[in-house]
Structure 1
Amino acid sequence: MFRVFSSLVAASVVLTGCATNSLSPKGDAVFYALQADAMMNTWRYECAAVSARANYAADAARADWWQRNKATVEAADFGLAYNLVTVTDTRLDTGARLAMSLTQEVQERAEQTVNKKLNDASDKEALCLEVLGQYQAGKWDIKGSDEIQGALWSLKASAERNEERYRQRKGMVDTAAGKQYGRSLYVVEKLSDQESCDREEVSLIKGEWPYEIYNVACEDKPLSIVRCEWGRCTFVE
């Protein structure tokens, strides 16, 4: 499941020149952590809609899993974001666009996997309680190989050290492009297509990853708001 996406991460490294950046983590390590978080969140949201009991289990599982894995997920996310905005490139928005594509890919893979399992289950609540119990017990914690763990630990150390440089470079990207990019932009565009929204414009209202808010201007709806959390987006009723 990870091989195709890892090739996309590798491609982004080649395209943006990250191979010479000493802070560049292996694509496998970044993807492993971000995909694990996307899978956890997808189980959380999908199971919350199954029943009240599953919803309670989802909240408990997310809280316990996040407490143990928060630092690793944030480090992996920083590694991806940092590399994509601190490279030398003739198009400063290239990194931002790659980040959008990778975010969409992670979310799509998680949704396809979870939805297939739920659709095939004869008892969705039982499946949710089983899987969420595994998450709560630590079975699906982010661990990986020694190589992956080493890369993620390195990212944890570099995240705090380079936060200010990242913010400065991101500001340069936004200024050069003439707009502020949101990591979930491609996810929002696909969602609006699924909702039969003949969109004229998608604009970022608030972009503090992992939480983003977008305005989607549809022909039949002058103002539609979309909220996103870690790349998972929904229209606000």
Structure 2
Amino acid sequence: MLLPGMDGSGELFAPLIQVLGADLHTQVVRYPPEQPLGYGPLIEQVRRQLPAGRPFILLGESFSGPIAVSLAAERPAGLLGLVLCCTFIRNPRPGLAWLSGLVPLVSPRLAPRALLSQLLLGRFATPALDQALAGALAPLSSATLQARLRAVLEVDATAHLQQIQVPLLYLQATADRLVPADAARLIERYSGDFQCLQLEAPHCLLQARPHEAAHALERFAKTVGTDQGDQVAGRSTSSRGCSE
């Protein structure tokens, strides 16, 4: 089960899904672009979509990390593992909290496309990825984006993380300009069965390095017992901490 980043569209999972292969069943969650919802209502929406009657693994990308963590802490039936990609359990940039007053001025239609590309893709940008990113953000209303930004500034899911009993894989991008490495270390501190894999990638790791990400997810899925690939995610048997 794939939970999307700040755009909420789920469209940006396309490169990953294309290389995962037909043997893996994926369920993409999409958040309403016109509803300014914070984490609480979004968690409720995702909860209603959790697979019933079959094993699954939950993947939370970027903005959706706290949602995935909160739901995994509830230990839903069938959950085998949790994957967090370029994400956080607290505001990943607390030093910029003073900018919260500017959130009401943020609009997806005013953000320069070149700036978004630099922040999210950097040197990994391609015309196709730039176009996909712009297309995913286009339907977002300003109120929706502002609500999601406020949610990031205020979130603290550490207590939920401590309740998780399934293996956790963290995919970390070495060239991430939004979420620092400290975010993964904080998650490790509060996790039980934790493994971190580093990939040379930007914040949009799953889009820029889909083949490498798919390989890691498939290997991890086999380890947690999803021999039929019912969902996307995984577990590694190597030591704690981030490795390349």
Query: Per the shorter chain, which TM-score range?
Result: under 0.3
TM normalised by structure 1 equals 0.26
TM normalised by structure 2 equals 0.26
Based on CA coordinates, which of the two structures has the bigger radius of gyration? 1
Larger helix proportion of the pair = 1
